Amino acid sequence: MSVIGAVTVAAVAASLIGTAGVAQRRGSISVPPFPAGDPRLIGALARSQWWWIGTGASLAGIALQILALALGPILLVQSVMTTSIVGATLAERFLLHRRSSGETCAGIVLTVAGLSGLLLALDPHAGGAPGPSALTTVGLAAATIAVMVTIAGWARRRALGPRARALGLALGTGLGYGLSAVQLKQVGAQVANGIATPLGHPAIYAAVVLGSLAILLSQHALREGVGVAAVVSVILVVDPVVGLVAGGLWFGDAVTTSPVALVLATVCATVLLVGMVATQSSSDQSAPGACPHGADIDGERPVTAQPEPGGSRDVTPAHAREQVVSAAAQGPGTTRLS
């Protein structure tokens, strides 16, 4: 019964989190650009009701994810959480008025099928280990924070395009979310021994810090104008992989290593790779009916950006500037912004 409950709760959590990403993306449409990792973005987003709706849905999804982690193995929960990309795609269609291409839909199906098949082929079994020690938790959190900060610094490079920035930030987001899930798994087990028990272990504090950084990076990734499905697909792959490694190292989880299982896992990994490539290759193609970046949608007024001292006064998003240049090179009437 606990397994069924974990799957059900995780499925609801996944739908909430997938929809939350799109709602937050819509809220960011009227927000001026900020350098990657700049916390001022959150202050600007706080003016949008859509961002608050997405944040509320995200917090509810995270709460349900904690409950699911307390009910079932981390690998089972994280594999179910990959279905969040389906919710993100449907929400993107209705909230952003963006119609997904056939290539994007096929890529999403292959990504989810490949990752789910990979986890099923390895058939992870939950162990009884308590998780990483307090010292390991602190060291792991510090190393992860260093990696995420490095990614944020890398994404500030002017030479990078919006796709590279978005996918790099999505990678850091997935890493942060994956390690946060590891800490939340510990917190869920500690609560069984008393509501105040987690306060004496660094896991809950590591989860708060890592989760906050992951949220910040995810907002910058969504802000780049790349399709939500492309960003979410990277996050949903990195997140369970972190769970797979953590389950084996600290929670005593085991996987099947028979020849048949390894062959199936290889095939599913190939399907996963093809799906991700298909999703990414079509993510920057604007579909008819998509909302322009910076447009006024249902009362969302653009926020005027204040130029930095000595900096450029051009606050047009990078991806829009690149499309304008492309349109000028191809001639009039060949490209329109989306």
What is the model's pLDDT at position 121?
Answer: 84
Q: Model confidence over 241-264: pLDDT tens digits? A: 787 788 778 877 777 888 998 899
**CB of 45 closer than 8 Å to CB of 20:** no
Task: Taking the CA atoms of 24, 30, 31 and 32 in sequence, report the sign of the dihedral they define.
Answer: positive
Whole-angstrom Cα distance, residue 175 to residue 151?
Answer: 11
pLDDT of residue 310: 42
Res 315: pLDDT: 43
- The predicted pLDDT at position 191 comes to 80
Tell me the sheet residues that pair with 300. Answer: 297
In the chain, where the domains are located: 2-283
What residue type is assigned to position 51 of the chain? W
Q: What is the pTM of this model?
A: 0.64
Q: Are 14 and 80 in contact (CB under 8 A)?
A: yes
pLDDT value at position 320? 47
pLDDT at position 282 is 56
- In tens, the pLDDT along 107-132 reads 778 877 887 788 788 776 766 677 78
pLDDT at res. 138:
93
Share of the chain residues as helix, strand and coil, in percent rounded to the nearest 5: 70, 0, 30
Ranges of residues in the chain with a pLDDT under 50 are 1, 284-338
